[in-house]
Amino acid sequence: MTSGPDQSPERFPSTIGVKALDVEGLRALLIESGEPAFRAKQVIRWLYGRHAHSWNEMTDLPAALRESLSQRLALPCPETIRRQVSEDGTRKYLFRLGDGTTVEAVGLPTADRLTVCFSTQAGCAMGCSFCATGASGFTRNLGPGEMVDQVTTIAEDFDRRVTNAVAMGQGEPFANYDATLAALRIMNSADGPGIGARHLTVSTCGLIPGIRRFASEPEQFTLAVSLHSAVQSTRDVLMPGVRAMPLEQLRAELESYIERTGRRPSLEYALVLGVNDTEAELSALVDFCRGMLVHVNLIPVNPVDGLGHEKTTLARANEFADTLRRNGTEASIRSERGADIDAACGQLRQREAAG
Ligand code: SAH
Ligand code: SF4
């Protein structure tokens, strides 16, 4: 068991209540109250399959149990305090959680998919130099239910099933490993949003112990690693939070992940003009990827006010992609969506804080 009800008040504010619990924690709490274990399934279905806003709605639970749960365990739901709709259909949300903390999430629709980009922490402690979330510092970890709620709320808003979810909003998922995995399991469950494991992606700045644990999980979740430079001195400047986890170790861990899982991770590479888009950077990137089963996602960096990074031209991004492909590495340029609505991670929260 990763988080029981007794541990939750220490890890999360009590106002988060049931949203701090994973399935095992909920089951333990119900068993402790003399209930059969299957009640946990019923509650999960209400919370994340149907998005109940109160214990009272859970009509197939005995009335006495509903009453005692409502006395003991808060059931907060995120409140949408900002919602922006892009010309391309992307919707960006700012949610207020049970204790007043705010987090962002994004919904990206296409004809056959609805992808949700969700946050795993409020803020982030890693301090990447190009990232609005990193610039605003760390507030707290999110509980599993607070992550799943972002998916269910966005599904409701679009009135559509969410087909894909990526932990690419605010926060470093592997710095909140247990809660993130618990959230993925609920998202994957038929009692919750029912998203296929391969359509659930975690993006990490490269926390090696997290990548190792992730490789041993039984589900076929997808891994993305934010690389941003294959030159150690450049990466140290762009991503100061992972200086202690050098590229050589990261590469070895990726090799071992691929060998153990047989799955292909993505490498994220945000191109910053004059910083990581030079010839030397390109050849280091080609070397890093050589012989490894990876897919490189190139993204012209989304400039954040005050952080002083400019984006590389699309022509240069294409040169990166072509050179990688010629050297046997799959590469694509991620289309920029929602650029007109501050869709880059952390930007909306930053704007709200600035008034
Ligand atoms: N902390 C995790 C996941 C959240 S960030 C991580 O870093 O991987 C999600 C992705 O957005 C990461 O690849 C991150 O590097 C990228 N990102 C952050 N700020 C960005 C910006 N201004 N422009 C482009 N990509 C950015
Ligand atoms: Fe944190 Fe990811 Fe932003 Fe870096 S890019 S500061 S790891 S959220």
Instruction: Give the pLDDT confidence of 252-289 residue by residue, as tens digits.
Output: 999 999 999 999 999 999 999 999 999 999 999 999 99
| Rounded CA separation 56/292 (Å) | 53
Q: Which pLDDT score is estimated for 262? A: 97
What is the tally of helices (H) and strands (E) in the chain? Answer: 13, 12
Ligand 2 pocket test, pick from 202, 205, 350 with the greatest ligand atom count within 8 Å of Cβ, gives: 205
Alpha carbon of 80 to ligand 1 centroid (Å): 23
Using the atom order of ligand 2, give the atom closest to the CA of residue 131: 3
Both tokens assigned to 346: 């952390």
Residue position matching structure tokens 């391309």: 88
pTM confidence score: 0.94
* 3-state SS, residue 163: coil
| Rounded CA separation 125/140 (Å) | 10
Backbone phi and psi for residue 84, each to the nearest 5 degrees, phi listed first: -120, 140
For residues 239-248, give the mean pLDDT.
98
| Rounded CA separation 255/332 (Å) | 21
Tell me the pLDDT tens digit for each residue of 16-58. Answer: 999 999 999 999 999 999 999 999 999 999 999 999 999 999 9
Ligand 1 pocket test, pick from 124, 126, 168 with the greatest ligand atom count within 8 Å of Cβ, gives: 168
Q: Is 104 a catalytic residue?
A: yes
Q: Which pLDDT score is estimated for 344? A: 56
Q: Are 116 and 107 in contact (CB under 8 A)?
A: yes
Alpha carbon of 224 to ligand 1 centroid (Å): 11
CB atoms within 10 A of CB 70: 14
Alpha carbon of 229 to ligand 2 centroid (Å): 14
| Rounded CA separation 23/35 (Å) | 15
Q: Are 105 and 169 in contact (CB under 8 A)?
A: yes
What sign for the dihedral angle of Cα 166, 343, 110, 151? positive
